[in-house]
Structure 1
Amino acid sequence: MIDRNLQPVQWSEFMCELEDAKEHLANLIKEIEEDVTYDENNLRIDLGHVYAHLNRAWRRSMRALDRGDRDFASRFPDDLKPI
């Protein structure tokens, strides 16, 4: 896990990803509740967006961001077991 005191930049990036995920999830819930034409295609796109933020947050939480490892945030977490 990133240490907020030792790695303040990485901590900030981690928290930003979580805040973005929270914001997009709140917007998704509101849109689903209000838009009767909201369909599966929209859900796939919107959930994918939320997932991307959560995935980057997970990867950032597990190690300090190595700027040379551009691929780390796009890989599916291999240390999480599906439920």
Structure 2
Amino acid sequence: MISSRRRVGSWSYLKWGDIIPIILNDSIIAVRIKVLDIETSKYYASFITNEAYLAIKDWMDFRQSFGENIIYDSWIMRNL
């Protein structure tokens, strides 16, 4: 949350496909994240650190290791 300057409630609208690594020469140089403005229903771009991306990716990989089908439209945070 700190890396992208998002508020707690915005996690309810974040999907795996909204987080886009920018790769150059097989290295992640930046990670773009879509931010939805709920009032206007418009998307804006923000960025997160590589470390934040890797932490989210670890979370998604963990869920996938237990059989969850992780796709572009998978929610980042979900109920248990």
TM-score by length of 2: 0.30
- Structure (1/2) with the larger helix percentage: 1
Higher CA-based Rg: 1
